[in-house]
Structure 1
């Protein structure tokens, strides 16, 4: 009886979770149901997977609608019909065309039109009219009463109860961006669209038993089946169209890669290769490896930098195919983390490309492989955002909405409307809101992708699934992760910048990692945490960890890359690892079993592999169970029931082997608390390789590396800090110049010119015209020359003048601004057209309008976001404290007051759920100050945005790492903006210049025209 059922994947319409829908259906004794979400098949596969657990036979279909207006319902008779529905729906989602009144005739598909709005007179064999209870009186007087063989029962299900209907109306108001009171009936469903029992439906249609029989017959004609065992992957199963040939090719490529990777491969390498190849073949992952190899072969042919990471980095075959640059033999990477006979899914290969190169890689994949699409993510309603949306729907004032979303209220003191906003905000929290694109997931399937899902076309221009990675894995479709990061762009660009700034130097081999590992300068940077701008090792937390560990070698950095992850710190093992790393005598405190399992990390769990090792060797689980445990802890495993069974087996095995319950509970606590956040060792090793590349460039070419960092959007910190870092390494930082700058940052020896692209509100077309005319006609000689050659508006020329881009004229910028204002109206805003005779410009005498360096600083803050001078020079009062960061090691335990320029903050919660902060500041000399703000202080002395703060607190030291435990903090005032100190200049400096000029007696024809 249930041909038209919606879950909450009918976005901003349905209100029922698929599992809840099945649960309520089971309780009502329903044994068959069709899921027909509106214009989506997002939930279909999950519905098909779950339904048998509730004793329900699933049917898949789609409710095709324009907005809330139902056009028709399509039901799949079988899997082929489901594919046809997906293809048909995709055609509308790709083109954004309106859905027609009549559906296309599709093979193995049943079409149902709503009786109330159907205008036709004939129906084909697979077409029916769906009659609602509300339509029965009308049916009695309709010609269709004589054609009841084409009629079926249409009981739409969008919600479970009255509260669900209210939620539905709120979602519809959000979707239509309207007040709830103004929501039209045509924009919402009917209050009767609820899940009701079959007995109630039968009673309603007792006068029309044929419709009941037709509906049951139609349901019996439909079935759908997918294999969720994942025994055989559904990815493209052959690279060469022949699986035997695939394996021969993989073997050939693997051995062909030996000379590049190993000068003298030992027995361990040969044994490992044979073992891996055999398991890869047995598990059906050969084409998965070859496809990754092909993608990266193309990348190398284009000169693209990339990093291969993930569990696949534990594979020597991947290393020999150049999918990764991590030697699993050298690092003794745990083979079973990469792959084992119990593992049904292939290893993860996360391939990072420069953000500039990834789109081309994606296009290549879509060109090269037939059944390809991007993977979606479900963007859900977040609580605070939901409260804001609902506040608008209920018509609350902005002030009240802000109060509710910030949580600054007493619930019992709120009026009823505000309480409803909070109640329904909690109710829709987690509902899917819209479909986005996975950060890098790409599917390449053996069957057409529409066999599994419909696709939509986001702005990126590539077909994208309507289900996420979890559903994809359920069906045996494993993603290829093609990711982008700016770190690789920085490395690639830095090498190019070094080449043009030091043309006589030999080319840099940025892949010479073996040499980098022994480099003394790099060791110095690591030991002293001087790694600002370097990939993964520049954040305040990593900087402090490196100081505490005093790491200066590759293996130490690999461990640090995983130790820094939240789970290790949460388990309390970060501090324990530091102690055992720094003080060998502490290693004796490790439990012998744990020390034996993880000797390299002194018995401390640091990597994801350690979960498998502990579960296998300590907890007595099989490798398959251990991997299931790891996946369950990381949140990637679907069945909590299976996970809990494995957990029980872990404790049971420990009891049976005589391990103390307290020890077992502690080991489990450590394992569970960090497993979801830990890195695989190969993943950390891949990151460390990229860190070494960036550290090399920072050690030998710091200015060029900072230029590349700025041109790739910075990193952990703001652009301002990287400008500061370049200055600390001896660079002269210069504002953009119309004759020397480009859109990006450029360097000439030690002079760094900021790019035009860094100027807020300077338009791309202005930059393009400026550069094109300069390239064509040479350097600009004056403001007049510039205005003659570049079509520009007053607003745009003002930006260039205020940032001092015409300083080569050696004229005051206020005078230039006045002159531009007088002349700009005579310049066409269209492209300049060359004429036979050059128009002679009128010269104006300009008043003497000096400006100060302080005014320049405020112009820079307005246009760049930061001043190019030392920000301490802008303090309203002279500095009170002479203490600098360099003095703090000699002041441990003492209460001090120091001034710092805020760089970064990190908010975190204590075990008691109270907010505390970590702060990062720069002192007057440009050195870092690290602060800790515990909850009472954090609540009393808040961060109040960018600026200079007077920080009072106790100097603390831990493992030679200095920080200040703050007791008091206040932001210091800066000078009044000198540009507006004169009241005459407050409104508009240029207009006020004109006022001043008009007071002079001048010739109207010459100076005041």
Structure 2
């Protein structure tokens, strides 16, 4: 009778979790129950896992519907039947085809059609595996047909189970209104479930079907023929691809050959330490059956190298020497003394994490390769994530379906109300927003997770085909790992795009210059010029080290080497900062006497970081060596720090064991609590040391390019976007690096920004409102037929409208013709307005330019600058030149700041960026970053009273008054007052 149960994975329809369904079955002593969500299998595997834990026999399937109308219910007889269901559902999902009214000929699947949909004249056509489901409200109707005489054996009790009570039903109706984007009052009966689709008890079901009890018996008989078998035990075998080559022996042989080859590339001399570590890792990798995992990652990297794609391998896998030898990472774990047990130990059931970053331009092709290389029979899919209702979004959705006006919804969403004073509808919005909070809303795609299985993916789940174009599972990473499918992380970032593009630009702009092998990183670490940039924090545009906070930390720590940057890359993370240990680390780093305050055991465990927990493995070391947890329990902490534990209870059990062990060891309770507080603060934020080291490698690679090829590198930064700062700041930095900046030009610019020698021509892509196809057309026409000789020549050869032509003229893209912009604007309008212009490809001969006389136009001061502000978002001249009144007041410059420690000063700065944050009391405060008239940095702190009294008022030059403070050698301006200065008016629009 429980053949058609819905969880909240019947998206925007169901109400309760799969866990609650299992708890209901357990409470009612229901031995067998079926989860059949609507057109979705997201909850199936976890439902099986939870049912098995409490001794319930789970059945899984799908309720196939068109909209809210049921077509048929499919129940898997076994795992093969589940695959058939997934194949069918995936096909219709991928091709955006409605589910048919009639099921296909399944082999291992039971099909149940609702009685209301059955054509009685076609009942003879039912297949042996097909049945008719009778809802309890249809029993009287059944009595008035002849169907029972000949087909009673085909009839079963079918009652959809969707809600537990009236509140659930109301929540369901709200979800249906949200899904249909209509007011609740407009929701029709056809768009929602029956109010009687309740999780009835067994006794209630017996009463409902008391006149036809055989229907229940036949439903139970159907369930008894279904048996699903997935292994969720701790010792389960993994379900990833079993072999990379033909068999395990071939895999093991290949891994060893590749490692020996890698030794020659990575090390000039092969020490016993290196050989022993390599052999130990290989033995462990073979023992844990992770060889194919390493070889598949190597294969992916090999393909990327063949395409000249750059990559960074990070994650806990960066602790592995084998990964370093295979070229998966560029981090030497011997040099960094990386903790092997963080990478792998016998308690660890999952393979190590390899987060492999590619350029944002290359990742999609790498993903395509993986699907083609390993997924010929459907064994590859992207991982999904569940996008859940959050409070604010739920309030907004509910406000709309209740018909509240926008300003009232805004008040409720912002939380700026007194509940008692709300009207009835507003109170309902708040009440039901709590019901929706945390429920799945829709499926999304994991940031980079890909699974490669031995069996077809549809053995485990149906797949969707989002716009990205690759099949995507209907379950998330945690369910995937539960069943033994461990993901490969193929990620994208713009930092690698900058490196790749910079190297390409260098080869074009300076073909005679030799570029270092940036994967051979050790010479970069020892380069005095690169380390000087690090020590001065001159890192604008460089991966992970350009933010104001990171530049400040580099200066405070006086970092001038790779190992120092590795530590800084982790110290900057919120976990270390939040625990208060960032400040403690800096103090111990700069003052050796301070290190004596460290707990002796902690200092012994972590001498490199002065007894301060900085990395994920430090937490594991403390748990293992300080508190005596075994590596399995420590691994729970690892998963917790990565946000990967299944439940908070799992983490809490480890906390209890930690505290108990500390008591048994005689540690003071205050010490134990403080250390646990630090451990907890790491959750979701801490980096593994190998991960930090990988980030530092990429930082050094970008610093190398910034150091030796600054102009080309800054062009690459501008073209790839996605950095901490705006394009304006990177253009400013290019000037500081010695480049001459030119506005877009029809004869020199490309779609991206380009460089000739030390002259940078901004690309058409930067121009606001310029059509990308027009930009591409301009470059193609110029490449094909040569430079444009005049405005008339340009208009004849390029398809362009008046608005787009105006943009090019105003940005001065025709300046090479020696004609002022106003004259060009008049000419352009004359040539284009009202006259049919022949298509460029139909023009056989150049027409003679039309000549006409125009008066001499007055030149307007800074006309170009104002057009640049509108069309580029910033002027190419100094913003200080555009002030309404020149600065005459006495003030200091950024370079003078160290001389004024603990003194009140006045500075003038152009606002670059603001970081908004809060104090421990919840008060708003800010950190500002400005540049002065020389282009040098000014770092400011705005404490709550000042932040409230003197808010930022947009991008502008500000007069800043405050106190110069110094901490750990880094100077900051504590702002006392701040006033925005006005720019001069644009004379074209005055009067």
**Aligned-partner Cα distance in 2 for 1:454–1:76:** 13
Judged with a 3 Å threshold, the aligned counterparts in structure 2 of structure 1 residues 827 and 361 are, in CA distance, closer, same or farther, namely farther
Q: Which residue of 2 aligns with 1:944?
A: 953
1:584 is matched with which residue?
592
Match of 2:898 in 1: 889
- Asked whether the equivalents of residues 63 and 70 of structure 1 are also in contact (C-alpha less than 8 Å), the reply is yes
Secondary structure of the corresponding residue to residue 47 of structure 2: helix
- Is the 1:953–1:965 contact (alpha carbons within 8 Å) kept by the matching residues of 2? yes
Aligned equivalent of 1:142: 145
1:243-392 map, 5 Å: 243-370=248-375, 371-392=379-400
Corresponding residue for 1:998?
A: none
CA distance in 2, matches of 1:850, 1:71: 75
Task: String of CA shifts for 1:208-265, please: whole Å, max 9, x gaps.
Answer: 1111111111111112121112532110011113112211221222122211111211
Can you list the C-alpha shifts for 1:35-56, whole angstroms capped at 9, x where unaligned? 1111111111111111234453
Q: Which residue of 2 aligns with 1:421?
A: 429
For 1:722-760, what per-residue CA distance to the aligned partner results, in whole angstroms no more than 9, with x for missing partners? 011111222221110001100011112221110001112
Question: Separation in 1 of the partners of 2:983 and 2:152?
Answer: 83
C-alpha distance 951-835 of structure 1, shift in aligned 2 (>3 A):
closer
Please give the per-residue CA displacement for 1:57-116, whole angstroms capped at 9, x wherever unaligned: 221111111221211111111111111111110000110011110011212111111111
- Return the offset for 1:550: 0.7
Task: Determine helix, strand or coil for the equivalent of 1:156.
Answer: coil
Q: Distance in 2 between matches of 1:933 and 1:794?
A: 47
The separation in 2 between residues aligned to 1:975 and 1:64, in whole angstroms, is: 66
1:995 corresponding residue in structure 2: none
Asked if the contact 1:230/1:474 (under 8 Å) is kept, the reply is no
User: What is the aligned partner in structure 1 of residue 220 from structure 2?
Assistant: 216
Listed one character per residue, the Cα deviations across residues 601-633 of structure 1 (whole Å, up to 9, x for unaligned) are 111111111111111110111122211222134
Q: Corresponding residue for 1:79?
A: 79
Question: Runs of 4+ in structure 1 displaced over 6 angstroms?
Answer: none
Shift of the 921–23 alpha-carbon distance from structure 1 to 2, 3 Å rule, reads farther
**1:346-381 residue CA offsets vs partner (Å, 9 max, x unmatched):** 111111111122122111111111311111111222
Of 844, 856, 863, 2:871 maps to: 863
Judged with a 3 Å threshold, the aligned counterparts in structure 2 of structure 1 residues 258 and 827 are, in CA distance, closer, same or farther, namely farther
Within the candidate set 925, 929, 952, 1:920 is matched to 929
Structure 2: tracts of 5 or more residues without a match: none
Tell me how far 1:841 sits from its aligned partner. Answer: 4.9
Is 1:444 aligned to 2:447, yes or no?
no
Corresponding position of 1:133 = 136
How do 1:610-649 and structure 2 match up within 5 A? 610-649=618-657
Hey, what's the Cα distance between the residues in 2 that align with 1:50 and 1:921? 56
Residue in structure 1 matching 2:778, options 770, 773, 777: 770
Please say if residues 525 and 531 of structure 1, whose CA atoms lie closer than 8 Å, have aligned partners that are also in contact: yes
Residue equivalent to 2:918: 909
Structure 1 position 688 matched with structure 2 position 693: no
Aligned counterparts of 2:417 and 2:948: Cα–Cα separation in 1: 17
Would you say 1:710 and 2:718 are equivalent positions?
A: yes
Show the 5 A alignment for 1:39-118. Answer: 39-118=39-118
Partner of residue 9, structure 1: 9
Tell whether the 8 Å contact from 1:533 to 1:714 is kept in structure 2 after alignment.
no
Shift of the 974–273 alpha-carbon distance from structure 1 to 2, 3 Å rule, reads same
Aligned: 1:172 with 2:176: yes
1-structure distance, mates of 2:186, 2:838: 46
How many residues align structurally? 982
1:121 corresponding residue in structure 2? 123
Deviation at 1:779, TM superposition (A): 0.9
SS at match of 1:760: coil
Name 2:242's counterpart in structure 1: 237
Q: Distance in 1 between matches of 2:7 and 2:233?
A: 25
Is the Cα–Cα contact under 8 Å of residues 15 and 168 in structure 2 kept in the other structure? yes
Q: Distance in 2 between matches of 1:609 and 1:851?
A: 66
Greater mean alpha carbon deviation, residues 425-434 or residues 335-344? 425-434
Aligned to 2:662: 654
> CA deviation digits over 1:573-594, x for unaligned, max 9?
1011111111222111111101
Quick one: structure 1 residues 936 and 52, their matched pair in 2 at CA, closer, same or farther if it must change by over 3 Å? farther
Task: Return closer, same or farther for 1:279/1:842 CA change in 2, 3 Å cut-off.
Answer: same
Q: Distance in 1 between matches of 2:282 and 2:774?
A: 57
CA distance in 2, matches of 1:488, 1:893: 42
With 685-694 and 646-655 compared, the bigger mean Cα shift is at 646-655
Please say if residues 567 and 678 of structure 1, whose CA atoms lie closer than 8 Å, have aligned partners that are also in contact.
yes
User: 280-289 vs 148-157, which deviates more?
Assistant: 148-157
The Cα of 1:881 is off from its aligned counterpart by: 5.9
**Inter-partner Cα distance in structure 1 for 2:30 and 2:950:** 60
| Distance change (3 Å), C-alpha of 1:780 and 1:166 | same
Q: Give the secondary structure class of the aligned counterpart of 1:157.
A: coil
> 3-state DSSP class of the match of 2:933?
coil
Compute the RMSD of aligned alpha carbons. Answer: 1.9
Q: CA deviation at 1:837?
A: 4.8
CA gap 1:181/1:650 in 2 versus in 1, 3 angstroms? same
612-621 or 261-270, larger mean C-alpha shift: 261-270
Change (3 A) 1:37 1:943: farther
Distance 2:514 2:262 in 1: 27
Tell me, in whole angstroms, the C-alpha distance in 1 between the residues paired with 2:913 and 2:108: 60
Unaligned runs of 5+ in 1: 983-1009
State the alpha-carbon separation in 2 of the partners of residues 622 and 830 from structure 1: 80
Q: By how many angstroms is 1:288 displaced?
A: 0.6
CA contact (8 A) 1:230 1:476 kept: no
Indicate the larger mover: 735-744 or 511-520: 511-520
C-alpha spacing 1:977/1:16, structure 2 compared with 1 (3 Å) = farther
User: Does structure 2 conserve the Cα–Cα contact (< 8 Å) formed by 1:787 and 1:827?
Assistant: no
